Structure formats: C-alpha cells, structure tokens
C-alpha cells in the first residue's frame, strides 16, 4: 500500500536498476522571522550551504551562527526547490510549523533569540501558510492549523521571588507537539523533480511586533517539517 502512495519519477543512472527503498522520513526547511517582518517569504527554495531566508524588518540583523546559513539543522535539501535524488519521491502525510524556543534566564526574561510567548502569539495571530507543489496550492490556512510536531509546549507564567523580583518564565509553541503536525487524510504526492514551495505570509501590510524591536529583533527560526513516506534510490 505504501508503495502505491508514492510517485515513481525518473531514476538516477547510477542507482541500482529496478530497486528502491521506502522509508518513513522527514523533509524540512526553515526561515528566520523577526521584529518588523512582513509580506511573504518562501520555504523549501534554498538548499544547504546558502543563506537562510529572512522575514525581518529593514533594521533587524540576526547574528546567531545557526540563523545565517542553511545546515542540517535548518534543512535537509541540497537542491533548490526540489527534493532531488538525495531525498527521492515522497508522499507527505503530515505538515507542521515549529518555532525555535527562547531560553528562560535564571535572572528573569529570555535569551536574545527564539520565540517567547510574545513571539508565539504574534506569529499565530498574524500569519498564514500555503503549501504548493508544481505551482498548485495543495493545502493552506492560518498557521495555527499546522501545529508543531516538536519542541517545548509549556505555558507562560510570572513568578515572584523572596526579594520581590518578578521573573517571567514559560514556553509557548505553535500547538502541541503531541498532535504530530497536521495529519493529511490524503497524502500529497511529490516527485523528486517537482517544484515545492511553502509560503509564510502576513496580510494587508501587517508586520510582526516582537518583544525586542531593535538589533536582532528576537530573531526566531521557523521550521516547516513534512512527515513523509519516501522512495529513494538503492546504491
């Protein structure tokens, strides 16, 4: 049954003739969101080794090393816009949007990158998502309809210490990781040479108003994770 769900496209001339393997795998791509970001930005169009796309204001400049260049952390694509022979043909069974989490500090507040509950609320309030294959929209909706499949999923809170110091604590993810993302009743078939695009957008001139509004602008990695059945070449 799994074989029938996955398209069979061209094969590499160097692959073992007539043989394929089928695996349960992830295909993922990221972009950086930050204060002042607006309009639209694309996922799955930039491979490893190139600059991670940004959706930030003109005066915002992310500085974290893992926010600058695509690596295995932020994408497993090595071909722009396509899965290619390194991944193979796929049937997408789930889609999730995962927000990088800000680190709570012992002295109160958060680290300089990642989503605090403030950023998570901004992202959920203003963003929509589209997933396209070959230029056709296969699914779309507000980002809250594509819950996270990973990450910390706690709640925000405020605590007061014995010396009356107020500490802000907690996490906020895009939905519960227990949901495993949005499960698709009908898998989206993707051949290795199909053009794949995910779009994060804000409507009507809206922009993100993050908790830090200068410098790095609380820059946060947003990762779209596709849960797939993958048909790969045997070598």
Host domain of residue 66? 24-233
- Any domain includes 3: no
pLDDT attached to residue 1: 42
Residue with tokens 């110091």: 165
CB atoms near residue 139 (< 10 Å): 17
- Any domain includes 104: yes
Integer Cα distance of 153 and 171 in angstroms: 6
Q: How many domains does the chain have?
A: 1
Percent of the chain's residues with pLDDT above 70? 90
pTM: 0.88
- Any domain includes 109: yes
- Any domain includes 55: yes
- Any domain includes 8: no
Integer Cα distance of 215 and 104 in angstroms: 19
- Any domain includes 16: no
Decide if 143 contacts 200 (C-beta within 8 A): yes
Mean of per-residue pLDDT scores for the chain = 88
Number of H helices, E strands in the chain: 3, 11
What average pLDDT does this structure show over 46-67? 96
């Amino acid at each position: 049954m799994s074989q029938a769900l996955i398209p069979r496209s061209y094969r590499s001339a160097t692959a073992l003739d007539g043989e394929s393997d089928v695996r349960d795998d992830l295909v993922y791509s990221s972009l950086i969101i930050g204060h002042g970001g607006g309009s639209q930005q694309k996922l799955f169009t930039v491979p490893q080794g190139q600059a991670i796309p940004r959706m930030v204001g003109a005066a915002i400049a992310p500085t974290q090393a893992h926010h600058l260049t695509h690596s295995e952390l932020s994408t497993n694509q090595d071909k722009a816009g396509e899965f290619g022979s390194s991944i193979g043909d796929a049937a997408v069974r789930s889609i999730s949007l995962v927000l990088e989490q800000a680190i709570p500090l012992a002295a109160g507040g958060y680290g300089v990158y990642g989503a605090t509950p403030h950023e998570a609320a901004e992202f959920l309030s203003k963003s929509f998502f589209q997933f396209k294959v070959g230029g056709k929209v296969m699914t779309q909706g507000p980002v809250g309809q594509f819950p996270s499949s990973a990450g910390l999923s706690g709640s925000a809170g405020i605590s007061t210490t014995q010396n009356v110091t107020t500490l802000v604590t907690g996490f906020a993810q895009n939905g519960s990781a227990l949901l495993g993302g949005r499960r698709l009743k009908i898998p989206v078939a993707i051949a290795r040479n199909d053009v794949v695009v995910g779009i994060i957008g804000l409507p009507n001139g809206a922009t993100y108003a993050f908790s830090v509004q200068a410098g790095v602008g609380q820059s946060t990695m947003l990762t779209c994770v596709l849960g797939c059945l993958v048909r790969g070449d045997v070598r």
